[in-house]
Amino acid sequence: MRNVYTGKEMQEIDRYMIEEIGIPSASLMERAGSSLFEEILRVVPSPKRVGVLAGSGNNGGDGVLAARLFALRGVETRVYYLSNPMNLKNEAKRQYLIAEKCHVTFTNEIEDLKDCDVLIDGAFGTGLSRMVEGDAAAIIEKFNEFSGLRFGVDIPSGISSLDGHVMGTAVRCDYTVTFAYEKTGLLLYPGREYAGEIILRDVGIQKLDSVEKTGCRVLEDIDISAMLPRRFAGSNKGSYGHVLVVAGSYQMAGAAYFSAKAAYLCGAGLVKVLTDERNREIIQSKLPEALIDTYGSKLIEDNIKADLEWADVVLMGPGLGVGTLSEKIFDYIFDNVQVPLILDADGLNILSKNPMRLLKPHMGIVVTPHIAEMARLRKVSNSYVLEHMIPLAEEFSRDYQATVVLKNATCVTSVPYGNTYLNLTGNNGMSVGGSGDVLAGMIAGFMAQHVNSEVAAPLSVYLHGKAGDLAVRDTSVYSLRPDDILDYIPKVLL
């Protein structure tokens, strides 16, 4: 598991290392600039010309330092500053003065970088807090037109380190060399797209206990085995929990099937599907191991009461619909459930009419909204959700004491007053109907085995994406379907 930080958090880490630990800022810049130089040489072993777009901050200093190292190897090197280099301060000024003595060429024309086969973006850093406009925006747009390979320093200029959104305009990098820790804005879209391939380099920043408690977390393969529920030799089907899947209105049987099968594939002992009676034959033929309970045109509360007493965890919402009967089912289950509850899809759409219902005491709730569903829950626009994914997930989690899985290309999972996770597995082939139903079923399957939501949610998101990544190798991003994700869950667990 690794940590990622915003620009503001990294500034505090840098301050601590310089002022409290005593590492000179010049040493940190030498390590950063040298690391940048080494990574560029790894990708382009024999560059002909290197061009640097430099700003007045530390990123500009890192880029100029790398330019100096190239110049000392005899590579023609050109630097264009966004502002007058005579106004530079501190380490950025020091690197300019050193580079001047090492045959680095400084130019006043951005076009002089046009024929460079390597381009270094050091215009703005993680501390950028204003929109990129005017001359600076025009220069970045011109820089993006050049054909050389673009290497970002720490983060592409113009990308918010907080949430990855484009602050007016931004450099499109082929590679981004980032230092010490990944920056949050590199992992959220569109920043993740602008960054290209992300290369993480150690620059001697110590991992501190006080620091490790902040920032977001990213799961890695090495973390997964310890998070999975234990299996016992002397167990039986009752040992691994009962999942009740309340899903699938008429002609929406697929949603119930995807969720129920995913729960089984993640180890649940028994899965029961509560669905429209017209879906019975489909579910029984597609998933004969599942138990079935159905409803007709009227709600039979005694049946649902028995189902709730049987269940160890309830998943409600995939394909449920939002009509009058669906609302009655939702209301009865929400008001009477005494076990953890996962709300997905139409469960969230019904909830959005009155999210304050989540304030009632509960045994644990997981919500799994996509962007539009979170927008409805919070009464904001989709674009607002996209630009505030982390704070929105964290606020919702705290406000309602619910674990939140906010689904997008990079999923954000927030635990109330606990960790926030960014997920880096998965691919755009998974942008297909039914993929979310599989994820919700996976969470339910793990929770049935007494894995709490704080673990089951980020674990499921990671494995769901991993299954999609394996599946896409044998299909394609155009052809991937939910059944493919299901097929690869066993392979991922294996």
The 10s digit of each residue's pLDDT in 152-196 is: 999 999 999 999 999 999 999 999 999 999 999 999 999 999 999
The pLDDT score that the predictor gives to residue 209 is: 57
Percent of the chain whose predicted confidence (pLDDT) is above 70 = 98
Name 341's bridge partners.
314, 365
Confidence of residue 205 (pLDDT cuts 50, 70, 90): confident
Residue partners of 271: CB distance under 8 A and separation at least 6: 242, 243, 245, 260, 263, 264, 289, 290, 291, 445
Task: Check whether 426 has a pLDDT greater than 60.
Answer: yes
Residue partners of 355: CB distance under 8 A and separation at least 6: 377, 400
The pLDDT score that the predictor gives to residue 210 is: 57
Which of these, 263, 243, 260, 245, lies nearest to 442 by C-alpha position?
Answer: 263
Compute the average pLDDT of residues 78-98. Answer: 94
Confidence of residue 307 (pLDDT cuts 50, 70, 90): very high
The pLDDT score that the predictor gives to residue 103 is: 87
Judged by average pLDDT, the poorest of 2-16, 304-318, 353-367, 406-420 is: 2-16
| Backbone phi and psi for residue 410, each to the nearest 5 degrees, phi listed first | -110, 110
Which of these, 18, 66, 486, lies nearest to 264 by C-alpha position?
Answer: 486
Helix ranges restricted to H, 103-163: 134-145
